[in-house]
Amino acid sequence: QVQLVQSGSELRKPGASVKVSCKASGYTFNNYGMTWVRQAPGQGLEWIGWINTDSGSPTYAQGFTGRFIFSLDTSVSTAYLQVNNLQAEDTAIYYCAREPKLLDSWGQGTQVTVSS
């Protein structure tokens, strides 16, 4: 069955970077894109963007350009989200989800906490 398994919780200081991983199994990795979604505490879902796992081409939402970087390691069917120069407002749960058109499988979420 399709499964997306994300890396564990992270605690960082402001200005630091974090890299979240999302390992896929149960399907052909480069046949489906990978979407990233953010959910701040008590808030709704925000679409960060997605990466074409076949071409490696990323698309970012407005407000997520510059500090947010998607990458892939297709040899281990894993997608990554790196966030640089972390701010307190980046404290959130970050989810990966398969495909941009319909998010039919989701990772369990990774809590990223930014605090001095």
Partner 1 sequence: QSALTQPPSASGSPGQSVTISCTGTSSDVGGHNYVSWYQQHPGKAPKLILYEVTKRPSGVPDRFSGSKSGYTASLSVSGLQTDDEADYYCYSNAGGNIWVFGGGTKLTVL
Nearer of residues 18 and 93 to partner 1, judged by Cβ: 93
Q: Is residue 62 close enough to count as binding partner 1 by CB under 8 A?
A: yes
C-alpha of 87 from chain center: 17
Q: Is residue 54 close enough to count as binding partner 1 by CB under 8 A?
A: no
Nearer of residues 16 and 45 to partner 1, judged by Cβ: 45
Whole-number Cα distances in Å, 101 to 3, 80, 86: 18, 19, 29
Q: Which of 1, 66, 75, 102 binds partner 1 (CB under 8 A)?
A: 102
Q: Which of 59, 71, 82, 84 binds partner 1 (CB under 8 A)?
A: 59
20-39 mask for partner 1 (x: CB under 8 A)? Answer: ---------------x-x--
Residue 51 sits at the vertex; the CA angle it makes with 90 and 19, to the nearest 5 degrees, is 40
Buried b / exposed e across 23-32, counting CB within 10 Å, b at 16+?
Answer: bbeeeebbeb
